[in-house]
């Protein structure tokens, strides 16, 4: 079967939990991992007569995010009720935004493996409440409800159906997550559920009209996004190729099996009976407020990347790796800012090369790196001032990583300090030449390959700490005589 | 001195002059209320706590530390959440429900020294115009206990308690007329303040965009005294108005020269003679008081009733979704969650509540939303605009409160349309969020009270009180 002329049309709905002390409409705390039902206010439990009051901090976070997505901020937006019954939805409705969201159209740029970049449109961002959690595995015949999450503020960020592949979808989510982390509006932690993803996907032969889409729920890691899309592409093209029709339905991604399965059909879809929440007046704010938020907005990854390239002459590729995670850039910035003489390219190479290699090998995030920024800076300084050679530095680096010791201590303890004293090196060379008279003769009679042998001997004598440049220079002079 | 007949103003005077103690007063009213079971005005009485509170009040009075309503017994509609007493909304769903919190309005009353006497009967979840939909049984109009007339609804218990002299003053809530219509049927004063004047926090919600708490009292002065305490901005209610403090009681002026509007759309052919007669009488009172009478036009009045029942039911269907048997209130257990919902809600809600939930669910459904809910919202805007236009030429509007006097229990309960028609004069004002008061003017041929309504501009309760005072002074209405 030839799949080359097929096209996948993908749109993503990302639910991002807002970083805020309290919930969207109540004063209850948003701490993750607390004892069940300890972070629940009367409003969150939907007690009779309780009323929602908007948390201004959450609104500000949504505006910040909108600005980070180059999106239109709607100065007037409306909260609606989405009505449905579920045991972990105490009000019997979710407060959301339906027709008039707080943020309108925007876009983000993603970088792809082939070096190209692509703009993905954002349709909208709206504020809504999270539901609580049903726990079914404590007792066989009972379900338990935990309302800690009930009422926590979410941003639903909806993309245009501009995404065409699993790679693009993954890069989109990574980029979105990076933006959210930069501006501090969502921690982007997919394992804890602070960032969740629904995938809308359809396939068509290139040039055809849009196919029927399926909505895939519960796709909660970058890896799952790839798997779910690949699986759906296979499934949908197979259906069409065998003469069938793709059903419009909601499907669930099964992480263990790497498959999607039907959750509910179009006919079973809820009628949510959206209507404006009469407990909440429309959300209205001024240009001044937006401007003020804009002023205090931290640097965004795209801007930071340009700055790295302009200011430090770092390659575009290296720059994009550094900015992909706010923690990377912070690590880099810290090393540079501590000592302005440090060579930014070297610093970038150490982070992207040696440090990432060891972090990946040990499955660690940069924020958990055993080597702190100031210690890596120190090590780089020792190479720069020739205290140690680049080769020795790698050994020291590995030991730093494994033992958390400082470079200085390792160098001193193991005597790794580079020998740069010419007279000391000269006397060492003299000793080596003296002990290898026969080889000196061979060299002089034309066997120039032996030069390396002499260097090796000197290095062995000094356990590799002799400055290789000086060794070469003196050795050449001596052998030329 | 007959403690039974005193109004709030007199009561405050007696307490201040130490002619009676709060303890005597509370004991007297607790006894009266518990002995008068036939009205069925109360769902619960605050027997134990009230006496203790009265002793505290007496202490304060003796130390000259009395607050605005120190030591006065107040009846509270059983829709306001109260910490120490069950809050049922007259529904089986919340039978025995005891909140852990106090509504803002009642808290303000207690902070001013008032004492909770008991929780009064109402139509279930405030849905009804006769107090017959209560899970605790119908409440009876005290004007003729033999013939069993309704006290009106939904705040029927509060109206009957004040009119029946088993409460000095009470609170009610008004969504489409639930304070004004029972006030009219029971011959007392009932004010629905401007939407946003009193906090809705802690009041069991019926229709959020319409619900408003207000006083139900023996006199206009009493209503002003009560509103001074009940009103005020509350940051816990996003629809509450953040306004400068006012003093309604102090501003009350029975000699204000007002421009009084008479809407022609309220003069239907079906309106009976006794109502028209009293309406004309009221107009004369205003004229006598040098007020100007102005004919006004409220062109969208005829659509108000339908609009009201669509919007209020839509909001109710959503507001009542929280009564699902999961966290509090009635639960009929089942192994299946949908079955649990069905059983719980089938048994917990009465017929009228179910009817409103069904209407509300229907008008919000896909395919019907535009034709019903959205259209109703558009009409609501037109009705709001009608009043805005009218108030360019008048200060207040004067109309009957209800199209008739109180009707007999059982006479309309099986005919929802007839029942809903009772609200024809009160719902337009609710949709527009305006303040309106019902003041008794006289008696019908059945010797039952007839109340008239004065409507004011948004947040102009002062003019409403002043106009009400003119009617009150001239009609010389006497309680039975």
Q: Residue B206's domain spans which residues?
A: 1-480
Distance in angstroms between the alpha carbons of the first and the last residue of chain B? 17
Q: Is B336 exposed, middle or buried (CB count within 10 Å of its CB: 0-12, 13-18, 19+)?
A: exposed
From chain A, the residues in CB contact with B100 under 8 A are: 42
CA distance B350 to B310: 19
Q: What is the mean pLDDT of residues A439-446?
A: 86
In this complex, which of B204, B238, B364 lies closest to A281 when CB atoms are compared? B238
CB B15 within 8 A of CB B72: yes
**Which of B319, B344, B378 would you mutate first to test chain A, the one with the most A CBs within 10 A?**
B319
Count of other CB atoms within 10 angstroms of residue B97: 19
Q: What is the pLDDT of residues A354-380, one digit of tens each?
A: 999 999 999 898 989 999 999 999 999
Nearest chain B residue (CA) to A280: B238
Mutate to test the interface with B, among A26, A49, A82, A151 (most CBs of B within 10 A): A49
Closest-CA distance, A134 to chain B, in angstroms, reads 12
Task: List residues of chain B with CB under 8 Å from any CB of chain A.
Answer: 80-81, 87, 89, 94, 97, 99-101, 103, 200-205, 207-209, 235-239, 314-315, 317-318, 320-322, 324, 326-328, 335, 337-338, 341, 361, 364-366, 369, 373
Chain A contacts of B315, Cβ < 8 Å?
Answer: 278
Residue from B113, B138, B107, B108 nearest B123 by CA: B138
Does A270 lie at the interface with B, CB-CB under 8 angstroms?
no
Tens digits of residue pLDDT in B113-132: 999 999 999 999 999 999 99
Cα-based distances in Å from A251 to A200, A216, A286: 10, 5, 41
Q: Which helix (H) or strand (E) covers residue B76, if one does?
A: strand B73-77
d(CA A108, CA A69): 6
Q: Which residue of A has its CA nearest to B203?
A: A49
Query: What local confidence, expressed as pLDDT, does residue A481 receive?
Result: 67
* Whether the Cβ atoms of residue B153 and residue B145 lie closer than 8 Å to each other: no
Are B324 and A52 an interchain contact pair (Cβ–Cβ within 8 Å)?
no
The predicted model scores a pTM of 0.90
Query: Between B200, B201, B318, which is nearest A83 by CB?
Result: B318
Q: How far apart are CA A348 and CA A323, in angstroms?
A: 11
Write the pLDDT tens digit of every residue in A6-64: 999 999 999 999 999 999 999 999 988 889 999 999 999 999 999 999 999 999 999 99
Question: Measuring CA to CA, which residue among A275, A363, A221, A13 is closest to residue B321?
Answer: A275
Nearest residue on chain A to B79, alpha-carbon basis: A49
Distance (Å) from the C-alpha of residue B166 to the closest C-alpha of chain A?
Answer: 27
Chain B touched by A132 (CB under 8 Å): no
Query: With contacts defined as CB-CB under 8 Å, which chain A residues touch B380?
Result: none
Q: Would an 8 Å CB–CB cutoff place A91 in contact with chain B?
A: yes
Which of B88, B202, B237, B238 to mutate against chain A (most A CBs within 10 Å)?
B238
CB-closest option in A92, A278, A281 to B322: A92
Whether residues B322 and A48 touch (CB distance < 8 A) is answered with yes
Q: How many domains is chain B partitioned into structurally?
A: 1
Q: Say yes or no: A282 contacts chain B, CB-CB below 8 A.
A: no
Cβ–Cβ of A48/B327 closer than 8 Å? no
Closest among B211, B417, B207 to B312, alpha carbons compared:
B207
Residues of chain B contacting A135 with CB distance shorter than 8 Å? none
CB B449 within 8 A of CB B477: yes
Cα nearest neighbour of A270 on chain B: B366
The burial of B290, by beta-carbon neighbours within 10 Å (0-12 exposed, 13-18 middle, 19 or more buried), is given as exposed
Q: Which residue in the set B238, B314, B341 is minimally distant from A51, CB to CB?
A: B238
Would you tell me how many other CB atoms lie within 10 Å of the CB of residue A87? Answer: 18
Cis peptide leading into A449, omega within 30 of 0? Answer: no
Closest chain A residue to the Cα of B205, Cα to Cα: A49
**Contact at CB, B201 and A49, closer than 8 angstroms:** yes
Helix axes B273-288, B461-475, angle to 10 degrees: 110
Minimal C-alpha gap between A50 and chain B (Å) = 6
Tell me whether residues B235 and A53 touch, CB distance under 8 A: yes
Spatial separation of the C-alpha atoms in residues A393 and A380, rounded to whole Å: 8
Determine contact: A135 vs chain B, CB below 8 A. Answer: no
Bridge partners (DSSP) listed for residue B189: B217
| Residues above pLDDT 90, as percent of chain A | 69
Chains A and B form CB pairs within 8 A to the count of: 98
Give the distance from residue B399's alpha carbon to the nearest chain A alpha carbon, in angstroms.
28
Please state the three-class secondary structure of chain A as a single string.
Answer: CCCCCEEEEEEEEEEEECCCCECCCCCCECCCCCCCCCCCCCCCCCCCCCCCCCCHHHHHHHHHHHHHCCCCECCEECCEEEECCCCCCCCCEEEECCCCCCECCEEEEEECCCCCEEEEEEEEEEEEECCCEEEEEEECCEEEEECCCCCCEEEEEEECCCECCHHHHHHHHHHHHHHHHHHCCCCCCCCCCCEEEEEEEEEEECCCCCCCCEEEEEECCHHHHHHHHHHHHHHHHHHHHCCCCCCCEEEEEECCCCEEEEEEECCCCCCCCCEECCCCCCEECCHHHHHHHHHCCCCCHHHHHHHHHHHHCCCHHHHHHHHCCHHHHHHHHHHHHHCCCCCHHHHHHHHHHHHHHHHHHCCCCHHHCCCCHHHHHHHHHHHHCCCCCHHHHHHHHHHHHHHCCCHHHHHHHHCCCCECCHHHHHHHHHHHHHHCHHHHHHHHCCCCCHHHHHHHHHHHHCCCCECHHHHHHHHHHHHHC
Distance, in Å, from the CA atom of B81 to the CA atom of B106, rounded to the nearest integer, reads: 8
What is the average pLDDT across A232-254? 94
> What whole-number distance in Å separates Cα of residue A216 and Cα of residue B276?
66
Confidence category of residue A3, pLDDT binned at 50, 70, 90: low
Return mean pLDDT, chain B.
Answer: 96
Distance of alpha carbon A135 from its chain centroid, rounded? 30
Closest-approach residue (CA) in chain B for A279 = B208
The Cα A200–Cα A139 span in angstroms is: 35
Q: Tokens for B365, please give them.
A: 């459904």
Rounded CA-CA distance B248/B170 in Å is 17
Q: What integer pLDDT is reported at residue B355 of this predicted model?
A: 98
* Predicted pLDDT at A131: 95
Q: Give the pLDDT confidence score for residue A446 in this predicted structure.
A: 83
B-contacting residues of A 53-82, CB under 8 Å? 53-54, 81
Q: Determine which of A42-46, A185-189, A273-277, A301-305 has the lowest per-residue pLDDT on average.
A: A301-305
Contact between B133 and B352 under an 8 Å Cβ cutoff? The reply is yes
Q: What angle do CA A29, A364, A355 make, to 5 degrees?
A: 130
- For every one of its 480 residues, what pLDDT tens digit does chain B have, with 9 covering 90 and above? 789 999 999 999 999 999 999 999 999 999 999 999 999 999 999 998 999 999 999 999 999 999 999 999 999 999 999 998 999 999 999 999 999 999 999 999 999 999 999 999 999 999 999 999 999 999 999 999 899 999 999 999 999 999 999 999 999 999 999 999 999 999 999 999 999 999 999 999 999 999 999 999 999 999 999 999 999 999 999 999 999 988 999 999 888 999 999 999 999 877 889 999 999 999 999 999 999 999 999 999 999 999 999 999 999 999 999 999 999 999 999 999 999 999 999 999 999 999 999 999 999 999 999 999 999 999 999 999 999 999 999 999 999 999 999 999 999 999 988 888 889 999 999 999 999 999 999 999 999 999 999 999 999 999 999 999 999 999 988 765
Q: For residue A440, what pLDDT is reported?
A: 86
Torsion of CA A113, A114, A115, A117, to 10 degrees: -80
Predicted local distance difference test score (pLDDT) of residue B168: 97
Residue B279 belongs to a domain with what CATH number?
3.90.1300.10
CA distances from B216 to B65, B121, B141, B213 (A): 27, 14, 15, 10
Are B318 and A90 in contact (CB < 8 Å)? no
**In angstroms, what separates the C-alpha of B459 from chain A's closest C-alpha?**
18
Provide the token pair at B186. 């029971």
Q: pLDDT, tens digit, for every residue of B239-251?
A: 999 999 889 999 9
Question: Cβ–Cβ of A90/B200 closer than 8 Å?
Answer: no
Mean of the per-residue pLDDT values of chain A: 92
Determine the length of chain B.
480
DSSP state of B75: E
Q: Which two tokens stand for residue B221?
A: 């002065």
Cβ atoms within 10 Å, residue A4: 6
CA atoms within 13 A on the CB side of B368: 13
CATH class of A422-480: mainly alpha
Residues of B in Cβ contact (< 8 Å) with A48 = 81, 87, 89, 94, 97, 99, 204-205, 322
CB contact under 8 A, A83 and B321: yes
* Cross-chain residue pair B361–A273, CB shorter than 8 Å: yes
pLDDT band of A391, cuts 50, 70, 90: confident
Model confidence band, residue A189 (pLDDT cutoffs 50, 70, 90): very high
ipTM, 2 dp: 0.96
Active site residues of B: 77, 154, 178
Asked if B327 lies within 8 A of A278 by C-beta distance, the reply is no
Q: How far is CA A79 from CA A95, A198, A270, B475, in A?
A: 6, 22, 19, 48
Q: Which residues contact A364 (CB under 8 A, 6 or more apart)?
A: A370
Chosen for mutation from B91, B240, B327 (greatest number of chain A CBs closer than 10 Å) is B327
pLDDT in tens, A61-92: 999 999 999 999 999 999 999 999 999 999 99
Contact B111, B66 (CB under 8 A): no
Q: What is the mean pLDDT of residues A205-221?
A: 91
Answer positive or negative: Cα dihedral of B325, B331, B337, B343.
negative
**Rg, Å, chain A Cα set:** 30
At B98, is the secondary structure helix, strand, or coil? coil
Residue A1's pLDDT is 54
Question: What is the C-alpha to C-alpha distance for residues B344 and B365, in angstroms, rounded to an integer?
Answer: 23
Tell whether A47 is within 8 A of chain B (Cβ): yes
**Measured on CA atoms in the order A382, A388, A391, A392, is the torsion positive or negative?**
negative
Helix (H) or strand (E) holding B421: helix B416-421
Q: Which residues contact A218 (CB under 8 A, 6 or more apart)?
A: A196, A198, A252, A253
CB B201 within 8 A of CB B104: yes
H helix and E strand count, chain B: 16, 11
Instruction: Determine the Cα–Cα distance for residues A189 and A220; give it in Å rounded to an integer.
Output: 10
Q: Could you tell me the two tokens for A46?
A: 């939907």
Chain A residues 284-343 with CB within 8 Å of chain B: none
Residue of A nearest to B103 (CA): A49
At A316, the pLDDT band (50, 70, 90 cuts) reads confident
**Percent of chain A clearing pLDDT 70 (strictly above):** 99
Distance from CA of A321 to the nearest CA of B (A): 46
A50–B361: do the CB atoms touch at under 8 Å? no
């Amino acid at each position: 079967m030839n799949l080359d002329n097929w096209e996948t049309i993908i749109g993503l709905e990302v639910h991002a939990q807002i970083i805020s002390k309290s919930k969207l409409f109540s004063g209850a705390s948003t701490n993750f991992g607390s004892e069940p039902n300890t972070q629940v206010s009367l409003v969150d439990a939907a007690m009779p007569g309780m009323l929602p009051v908007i948390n201004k901090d959450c609104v500000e976070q949504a505006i910040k995010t909108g600005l980070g997505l180059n999106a239109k901020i709607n100065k007037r937006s409306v909260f609606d009720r989405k009505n449905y019954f579920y045991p972990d939805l105490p009000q019997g409705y979710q407060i959301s935004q339906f027709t008039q969201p707080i943020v309108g159209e925007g876009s983000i740029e993603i970088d792809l493996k082939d070096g190209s970049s692509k703009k993905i449109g954002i349709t909208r961002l709206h504020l809504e409440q999270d539901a609580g959690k049903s726990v079914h595995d404590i007792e066989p015949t009972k379900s338990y409800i935990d309302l800690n999450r009930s009422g926590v503020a979410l941003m639903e960020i909806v993309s245009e159906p501009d995404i065409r592949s699993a790679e693009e979808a993954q890069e989109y989510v990574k980029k979105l997550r990076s933006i959210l982390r930069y501006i501090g509006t969502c921690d982007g932690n997919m394992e804890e559920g602070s960032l969740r993803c629904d995938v809308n996907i359809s396939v068509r032969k290139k040039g055809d009209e849009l196919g029927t889409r399926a909505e895939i729920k519960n796709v909660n890691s970058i890896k799952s996004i790839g798997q779910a899309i690949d699986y759906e592409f296979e499934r949908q093209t197979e259906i069409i190729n065998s003469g069938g029709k793709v059903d419009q339905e909601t499907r669930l991604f099964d992480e263990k099996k790497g498959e999607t399965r039907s959750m509910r059909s179009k006919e079973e879809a809820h009628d949510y009976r959206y209507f404006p929440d009469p407990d909440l007046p429309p959300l209205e704010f001024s240009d001044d407020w937006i401007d003020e938020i804009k002023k205090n907005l931290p640097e965004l990854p795209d801007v930071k990347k340009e700055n790295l390239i302009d200011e430090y002459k770092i390659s575009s590729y290296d720059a994009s790796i550094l900015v992909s995670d706010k923690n990377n850039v912070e690590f880099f910035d810290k090393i540079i800012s501590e000592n302005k003489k440090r060579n930014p390219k070297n610093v970038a190479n150490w982070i992207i090369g040696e440090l990432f290699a060891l972090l990946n090998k040990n499955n660690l995030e940069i924020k958990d790196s055993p080597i702190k920024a100031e210690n890596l800076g120190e090590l780089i300084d020792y190479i720069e001032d020739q205290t140690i050679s680049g080769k020795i530095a790698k050994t020291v680096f590995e030991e730093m990583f494994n033992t958390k010791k400082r470079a200085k201590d390792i160098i001193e303890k193991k005597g790794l300090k580079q020998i740069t004293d010419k007279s000391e090196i000269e006397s060492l060379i003299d000793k080596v030449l003296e002990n290898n008279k026969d080889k000196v003769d061979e060299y002089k009679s034309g066997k120039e390959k032996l030069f390396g042998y002499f260097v090796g001997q000197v290095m062995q004598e000094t356990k590799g700490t002799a400055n290789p440049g000086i060794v070469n220079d003196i050795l050449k002079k001596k052998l030329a005589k | 001195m007959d403690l039974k007949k005193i109004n709030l103003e007199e009561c405050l005077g007696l307490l201040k002059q130490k002619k009676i103690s709060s303890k005597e007063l509370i004991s007297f009213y607790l006894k009266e209320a518990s002995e008068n079971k036939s009205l069925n005005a109360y769902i619960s009485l605050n027997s134990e706590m009230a006496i203790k509170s009265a002793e505290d009040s007496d202490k304060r009075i003796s130390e000259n530390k009395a607050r605005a309503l120190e030591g006065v017994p107040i009846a509270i509609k059983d829709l306001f959440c109260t910490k120490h007493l069950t809050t049922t909304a007259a529904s089986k769903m919340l039978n025995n429900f005891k909140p852990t919190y106090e509504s803002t309005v009642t808290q303000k009353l207690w902070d001013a020294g008032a004492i909770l006497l008991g929780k009064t009967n109402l139509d279930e979840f405030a849905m009804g115009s006769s107090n017959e939909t209560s899970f605790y049984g119908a409440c009876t109009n005290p004007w003729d206990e033999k013939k069993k007339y309704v006290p009106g609804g939904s705040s029927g218990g509060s109206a009957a308690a004040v009119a029946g002299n088993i409460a000095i003053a009470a609170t009610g809530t008004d969504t489409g007329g639930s304070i004004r219509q029972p006030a009219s049927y029971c011959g007392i004063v009932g004010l629905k303040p401007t939407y946003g004047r009193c906090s809705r926090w802690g009041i069991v919600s019926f229709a959020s965009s319409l619900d408003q708490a207000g006083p139900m009292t023996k006199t206009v002065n009493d209503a002003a005294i009560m509103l001074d305490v009940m009103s005020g901005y509350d940051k816990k209610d996003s629809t509450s108005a953040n306004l400068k403090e006012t003093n309604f009681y102090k501003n009350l002026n029975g000699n204000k020269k007002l421009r009084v509007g008479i809407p022609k759309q309220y003069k239907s052919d079906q309106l009976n003679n006794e109502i028209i007669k009293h309406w004309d009488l009221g107009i004369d009172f205003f004229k006598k008081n040098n007020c100007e009478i102005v004919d006004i036009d409220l062109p969208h009045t005829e659509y108000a009733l339908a609009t009201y029942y669509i919007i209020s039911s839509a909001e109710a269907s959503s507001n009542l979704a929280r009564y699902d048997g999961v966290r509090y209130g009635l639960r009929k257990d089942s192994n299946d969650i949908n079955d649990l919902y069905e059983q719980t809600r089938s048994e917990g809600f009465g017929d009228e509540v179910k009817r409103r939930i069904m209407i509300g669910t229907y008008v919000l459904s896909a395919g019907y939303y535009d034709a019903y809910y959205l259209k109703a919202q558009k009409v609501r805007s037109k009705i709001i605009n009608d009043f805005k236009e009218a108030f360019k030429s008048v200060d207040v509007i004067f109309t009957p409160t209800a199209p008739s006097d109180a009707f007999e229990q059982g006479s309309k309960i099986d005919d929802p349309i007839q029942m809903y028609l009772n609200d024809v004069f009160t719902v337009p004002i609710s949709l527009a969020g305006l303040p309106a008061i019902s003041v008794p003017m006289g008696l019908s041929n059945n010797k039952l009270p007839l109340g008239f309504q004065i409507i004011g501009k948004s947040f102009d309760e002062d003019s409403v009180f002043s106009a009400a005072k003119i009617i009150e002074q001239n009609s010389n209405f006497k309680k039975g």
